Amino acid sequence: MSFDVARRKMVQEQIVARGISDRRVVEAMLKVPRHIFVQEAFAAQAYSDSSLPIGEKQTISQPYTVALMTELLGLTGTEKVLEIGTGSGYQTAILATLADRVFTAERIRPLALRARKCLDSLALFNVMLRINDGEGSPIGWEEEAPFDAIIVTAGAPAVPAVLTEQLAPNGRLVIPVGDEEEQRLLKIERQADGTFETAVSVGCRFVPLIGKQGW
């Protein structure tokens, strides 16, 4: 099966069939080639219904999870987005296809460099990537705040206040919160008056968020 055929099958069976209805998200999932973001040994499994190892004890998320988290952000194309945890760069590529600008931070240098190469190969030059590999590196990207949307691709024990503070009014934060074994996806929206509303989505399992705001 060709990658194009496998990608269309993935979107129809794993994304649309499970209730992802945002047309722009569906089109982005059809457009971005997931197989270039996985290790060559796993390329044949790139469109399977599962997460896959990408090295450095990290994973690329299940396609449905990527689509769901993206849909929860409600992107229209004008947003300035912050991503915590670049990883393979696949989620970054989906965001960059749907938003105006993406700021993404990764703590593992080899992953960040590989992700940058993949993003550049797709001409996704609206992505600013920072490597936070030093001890005590602050979470977020305070000097570029506020953000219209923030996505965290690692499980946290609680919602980091430093991230909600970096949300613009009416901005949305999507983050997995729970223990190190299992989390729930949360969507936190900053209201115009500065208060926050939280909605709980599905159960999930991510690698742990590392640092002062994580594990």
| Catalytic residue IDs | 61
| 14 alpha carbon, distance to own chain's centre | 17
